[in-house]
Amino acid sequence: MQMSNITVMKKILMLLFSSISIISLAQPDANTILEKVDKNMSSKNRVFESEMIIHGRRTSRSITSRSYSAGNKQSFTEYLSPAREQGTKMLKLENQLWIYSPSTDRIIQISGHMLRQSVMGSDLSYEDMMDERKMTEIYTAVISGNETLDGRNTWVLVLTARVEDVAYYSQKLWVDTERYIPLKQEMFAKSGQLLKRATLSDVRQIQGRWFPMTVVYKDVLKEGDGTEFRMTSVKFDQPIPDYIFTKAALKQ
C-alpha cells in the first residue's frame, strides 16, 4: 500500500516537472523578450514624420514634426506646424539637448530640471524624448504574468532599472506574445508612484519589423486627456547626412 502511494507521488512529481519544462520551453525568459522588443523598437537610424495631438484641459492642438535619429545618441527634430512652432528645432547629441527658436534666433541648451518639463504642453517630457536607449541597456526584466489586451495575448514584464540615470525607476510592460511589441506601458518612480502610462496601437509591419504607429501618453499627475503621438511615415536605416546632427543645422 505504501509502495503504491510512493509510485503515485513519483508520477505526480514527474508530471509537474514535465509541465513546468513545457511551459518554460513555450515562454522565453523575460530578458529575451525584452531583447526582441528592442529589435523591433530600436534601429540603426530612422526618419519619421509625426503628428502630436495634445488634449489639454481647455483645448486640443496638433503639432507636426519631422525627426531624424541615429542610434540612441543623436536626434534632430524640426517642427512643421502650427505657425507658432514652425521652424523650431531640437537637437540631441549624447545627453545634451539644444532648442533653436526662429523668433529670437537663439539656440538654448536645456538642462537640469527643465528636462523634466513638458514638451509643448504635452504629456511627454524632454527627458522622455531624449532617452532612446534600448530597454535591455537600462532595465532587468521579470515576467509577472500573462494577460489579454484588446484580444491579444501579452506577457506582463516588470522592469527594474539597473542604471542610475534613468527617468523611471521601474516599468510594467505588456508585450504582445506574437509580435514582441509593447501594447501598454506603465512608468513608475522609485517610490512606486505611477507617473505615466502609454498605450501603443496601430501596429504595422515596416521593413520586416513590427512597429506601433500610434502611442497615447498620459501623465497621470497631470489633468487632461493625454497626448496622442501618431507617426504618419517612418523609414528605418536610411542614409542621413552627418550635418543634420550638428548645431549648425539648427539655424539652417
Partner 1 sequence: MIRFLFKGIMRDRSRSLLPVIVVALGVFLTVFMSGFLKGVFSDITELNANFSTGHVKIQTRAYAENADQIPNDLAILNVKKLIADLQKDYPEMEWVQRIRTGGLLDVPDSLGETKGQGQAVGTAVDMLSTGSHELERMNIKKSLVKGSLPARQGEALISDDYARRFGVSVGDKVTLFGSTMNGSMMFKTFVVSGTVRFGNSVLDRGAIFMDINDAMLALDMDDAASEVLGFFKSGQYDDIKAEAIEASFNLKYNIKGDEFSPVMSRLVEQEGLGDYLKLAGNASAIMVMIFIIAMSIVLWNTGLLGGLRRYSEFGIRLALGEEKKHIYLTTIYEAVLIGIIGSIIGTILGLGAAYYLQKYGLDVSAIMGNVGMMIPTVYRAEVTRELFYIGFFPGLIATVFGNALAGFAIYKRRTSQLFHELEV
Which positions lie near partner 1, rule CB under 8 A? 54, 56-59, 61, 84-85, 88, 98-99, 101, 103-114, 117-118, 120-122, 223, 247
User: Considering the complex, what minimum distance in angstroms separates the CB of residue 101 from partner 1?
Assistant: 4
Nearer to partner 1, 99 or 231 (CB): 99
- Per DSSP, the three-state class of 32 is helix
Backbone angles phi, psi at 187, to 5 degrees: -115, 130
- In which region does residue 150 sit, left (phi positive, over 0), alpha (psi from -120 to 50) or beta (all else)? left
CB of 217 to partner 1, least distance (A): 14
96's enclosing H/E stretch is strand 96-101
Closest distance of CB 74 from partner 1, Å: 19
Distances (CA, A) of 247 to 76, 96, 154: 10, 11, 42
| Shortest CB 102 distance to partner 1, Å | 9
**Residue number, 92 or 179, with CB nearest to partner 1:** 92
Partnered with residue 25 across adjacent β-strands are none
Measured from the CB atom, the residue of 117 and 144 that comes closer to partner 1 is: 117
Peptide bond into 102 cis (omega under 30): no
Shortest distance, position 49 Cβ to partner 1, whole Å: 19
Identify which of residues 112 and 239 has a Cβ nearer to partner 1 in the complex.
112
Nearer to partner 1, 139 or 217 (CB): 217
C-alpha closest to that of 186 among 227, 231, 156, 151: 156
Q: Is the Cβ of residue 37 or residue 54 nearer to partner 1 in the bound state?
A: 54
8 Å CB contact between 73 and 94: yes
Q: Which residues, other chains included, contact 234 with Cβ-Cβ below 8 Å and sequence gap of 6+?
A: 46, 47, 48, 49, 206, 211, 213
Question: Least distance in Å: CB of 63 to partner 1?
Answer: 8
